[in-house]
């Protein structure tokens, strides 16, 4: 017998659970749970209603129900999903529609970072870094005000006026906020761009 | 378009359709197709079957109703009743049940 892929034809309706270890291509209608340790292709005229637990799902038709994939979910331009997606990798093509929660966790047992992620710097400390970034972005206005004060301070010094050390923030303090010891390259540019526009006012 | 169920697939439920169905896997439940049904050597069916035409190479436990004909090939096992106007049983087929050819 020829080696054929399991296919559920267009005029076939299956009401019940499907379990398997090989790829399935669905053109028909399935109502029930699918447990597949392989790839599931849900083609264009197809309609699947139920929970899917697969390795890899390619949705070209319609699915109502949660999809749990251990490898990847792909939603094609004609794909429609009403349900939650649980997968480490996800591709939604332009035109594809998804309504539901998306949870992307790395597959259990795999600790490597996804290739698209930026490699973390050596001094990276996750909660501290994100806090620092947060401080910088939310405190932009106060930074700008401090910068203005420091410029004023410098001007005053230039013209020989007296200065009140307490009211003017220390330059070293301000510098610490934007010194890129653990902050990544784009951030200093960000602040300088904002500085320029604010000072113009 | 025809349907093909591979040998590593287990379906528990009802299959209905109007196109050819080839079963090499396991089905438990009910099968109602309006076309030819082929149960391959590795196919195992524990279900009531309704089809137009049945070619059996594998195992069936359940009653079988066909509109046209039923063929039990060599090496097959059929445990159940057959209702069909035409029945062909090959040498080597194992069959236990009733046959009713008055449809």
Rounded mean pLDDT for each run of 10 residues along chain B, 103 residues in total: 90 93 94 94 93 94 93 93 94 93 77
pLDDT (0 to 100) of residue A161: 58
Supply the mean pLDDT for chain A: 72
Rounded CA-CA distance A170/A150 in Å is: 8
Are residues A4 and B6, on separate chains, in Cβ contact within 8 Å? yes
Residues of B in contact with A15 (CB under 8 A): 13-14, 16
- Return the half-sphere exposure (C-beta side, CA atoms, 13 A cut-off) of residue A91: 11
pLDDT (0 to 100) of residue A198: 47
Single out the residue of A62, A43, A37 nearest to residue B9, CA to CA: A37
3-state secondary structure of A101: coil
Rounded CA-CA distance A98/B24 in Å is: 34
Residue A66 has pLDDT above 80, yes or no: yes
A63: left (phi over 0), alpha (psi -120 to 50) or beta: beta
Comparing A133 with B36, which gets the higher pLDDT?
B36
- pLDDT band at residue A125 using 50, 70 and 90 as cut-offs: very low
pLDDT (0 to 100) of residue A165: 52
CB A78 within 8 A of CB A93: no
Supply the mean pLDDT for chain B: 93
Q: Is B102 on the interface with A (CB under 8 A)?
A: no
- pLDDT band at residue A67 using 50, 70 and 90 as cut-offs: very high
37-96 in B: which are within 8 Å (CB) of A? 40
E strands, chain B, in order = 3-5, 9-17, 21-23, 26-33, 36-39, 44-56, 59-61, 64-72, 77-79, 82-83, 86-89, 94-96, 99-100
């Amino acid at each position: 017998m020829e080696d054929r892929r399991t296919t559920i034809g267009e005029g076939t309706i299956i009401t019940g659970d499907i379990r398997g270890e090989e790829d399935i291509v669905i053109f028909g209608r399935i109502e029930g749970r699918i447990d597949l340790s392989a790839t599931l292709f849900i083609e264009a005229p197809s309609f699947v209603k139920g929970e899917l637990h697969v390795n890899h799902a390619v949705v070209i038709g319609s699915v109502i129900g949660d999809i749990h994939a251990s490898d990847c979910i792909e939603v094609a331009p004609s794909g429609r999903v009403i349900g939650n997606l649980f997968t480490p990798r996800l591709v939604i093509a332009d035109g594809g529609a998804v309504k539901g929660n998306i949870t992307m966790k790395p597959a259990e047992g795999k600790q490597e970072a996804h290739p698209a992620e930026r490699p973390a710097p050596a001094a990276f400390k996750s909660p501290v870094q994100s806090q620092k970034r947060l401080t910088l972005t939310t405190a932009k206005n106060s930074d700008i005000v401090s910068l203005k004060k420091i410029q004023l301070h410098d001007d005053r010094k230039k013209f020989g006026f007296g200065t009140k050390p307490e009211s003017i923030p220390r330059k070293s303090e301000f510098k610490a906020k934007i010194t890129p010891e653990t902050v990544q390259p784009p951030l200093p540019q960000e602040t300088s761009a904002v500085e320029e526009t604010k000072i113009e006012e | 378009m025809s349907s093909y169920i591979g040998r590593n697939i287990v379906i528990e439920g009802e299959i209905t359709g109007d196109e050819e169905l080839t079963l090499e896997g396991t089905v438990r439940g009910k099968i109602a197709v309006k076309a030819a049904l082929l149960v391959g050597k590795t196919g195992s069916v524990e279900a009531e079957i309704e089809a137009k035409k049945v070619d059996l190479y594998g195992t069936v436990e359940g009653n079988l109703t066909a509109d046209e004909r039923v063929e039990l090939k060599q090496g097959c096992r059929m445990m159940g009743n057959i209702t069909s106007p035409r029945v062909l049983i090959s040498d080597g087929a194992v069959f236990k049940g009733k046959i009713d050819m008055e449809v």
